[in-house]
Amino acid sequence: MKQENPSTKFNASFERCINDPFFLDQFYEVFLSSSEEVSLLFKDTDMGTQKAMLMTSLVYMSRANNDEPDLLSTIAEKHNKNNLNIKPYFYSLWLDSLLTTAKAIDPVFDTKTEKLWRETLQPGIDFMVSKYDLV
């Protein structure tokens, strides 16, 4: 039996999720309920705009593992402590919420797929966190 390429498996799962019309709404439902602090961050947010930005961010985050952190630089600066002040611990809530949602949306999501999502997105998260304290 032919072994599936890990990035192919992640990309297939990612596409199933982002092509589902309920994915973003379900993600924000899970994410906003993950913490009162997170919920407060989004209380005056235009969620239509936010969802569009999330799609872009997800693509950039998924490519950070391919030595393309420049894609994330602007987003990281916007999220640092001097701007939106997105605290580093929010990223684990974000990732867990994303995986909870992917698991609910993707009919073939399994533990291997979850591991691939984590491995693919963690370099982007690490990059974002590394830029939190920079001026």
**Domain holding 38: CATH number?**
1.10.490.10
The predicted model scores a pTM of 0.89
Domain count, the chain: 1
Rounded to whole angstroms, how far apart are CA atoms 25 and 22? 5
135 within some domain = no
65 within some domain = yes
Rg (CA), the chain: 15
Check: CB of residue 31 under 8 Å from CB of residue 93.
yes
Instruction: Give me the tens of pLDDT residue by residue for the chain, a chain 135 residues long.
Output: 556 677 889 999 999 999 999 999 999 999 999 999 999 999 999 999 999 999 988 888 888 766 555 778 888 999 999 999 999 999 999 999 999 999 999 999 999 999 999 999 999 999 999 999 975
Of 79, 99, 74, residue with least CA distance to 89: 79
Domain that holds residue 42: 6-130
Cα–Cα distances (Å) from 11 to 4, 8, 114, 130, in that order, read 11, 5, 12, 26
pLDDT at residue 131 in the model = 92
